[in-house]
Amino acid sequence: VSPERPKRARRPTRIEVAAQTDVGSVRSQNEDSFLVGDQLFAVADGMGGHAAGEVASALALKTLAGVSVDKAGAVEGLLERFREAHRRIRERGEAEDRLRGMGTTLTAIIADDEQAHVVHIGDSRAYRYRDGVLEQLTTDDSLVQFLVGKGRLSPEEARKHPSRSILTRALGVGTEAEFQAVTLDIQLGDRLVLCTDGLSTFVSRDQIESILHRIPDPRAACDALIRRANEVGGDDNITVIVADIVRGSG
Ligand code: MN
């Protein structure tokens, strides 16, 4: 062991991340936004006419950006930023006519060496891909998901339902917002995936799983997922983040 060896603690894992957003093949504006930090990842899908959705999703991510990634307070820190973003979007929407009624989805992850903390509202999604299996970590706040929960629609029927874009909750909409929060373990080889409904509506769960299985490079996997969504529809903006837990360097 050389005495010059850097004192920096050896980390067993690190995160290799790729992110991409695409306007899709039909729309002219992109109301999706994403945020990528060392340990913080988020996607937001804005809604509201005349660019209001872009304002809402950007405001959500701007509010989220300074959150502390401290292990002990990650979930509470995220929840606090979600509440703050909810308040800011509502106030901007009330103050400016052209922004009235705007809102956004927001799905965020803080990851450390052992755990991922997910906080969520709306119908964007977080997944963990492990050992060939894609597991959805969030539940869509949507009318069709409510009907899936009641056993009245299958997930595949929900994906193709004409009312699939009706949300039951969104950031900036309504007086009180309720958020989902989940903490899960992560390990070497896991892939965390965040996406907006422009991916999950057009590309089935099995297809997403198969692309993640086939393409180990996160950048190439992002590209392939977005390409697939555009091939089969592209009737929406598409945003994907792939964050791989890989071997750390000493
Ligand atoms: Mn969308």
Whole-number Å distance, alpha carbon 44 to ligand 1 midpoint, is 9
State the Cα–Cα distance between residues 90 and 101, nearest whole angstrom.
8
Cα of 1 vs centre of ligand 1, distance in Å, is 53
CA–centroid distance, residue 235 to ligand 1 (Å): 9
Q: What is the pLDDT along the chain (250 residues), one digit of tens a residue?
A: 555 555 556 678 999 999 999 999 888 899 999 999 999 999 999 998 778 999 999 999 999 998 988 878 999 999 999 999 999 999 999 999 999 999 999 999 999 889 999 999 999 999 999 999 999 999 999 999 999 999 999 999 999 999 999 999 999 998 888 999 999 999 999 999 999 999 999 999 999 999 999 999 999 999 999 999 999 987 899 999 999 999 987 5
* Cα–Cα distances in angstroms (integers) from residue 159 to residues 58, 92, 115, 124, 200, in the given order: 26, 32, 30, 13, 8
Cα 6 to averaged position of ligand 1 atoms, centre (Å):
46
**What is the rounded CA–CA span in Å between residue 53 and residue 58?**
8
User: The pTM is what?
Assistant: 0.94
Edge-first strand listing for the sheet containing 238-247: 13-22, 238-247, 191-195, 125-130, 133-136
Determine phi and psi for 188, rounding to 5 degrees.
-50, 130
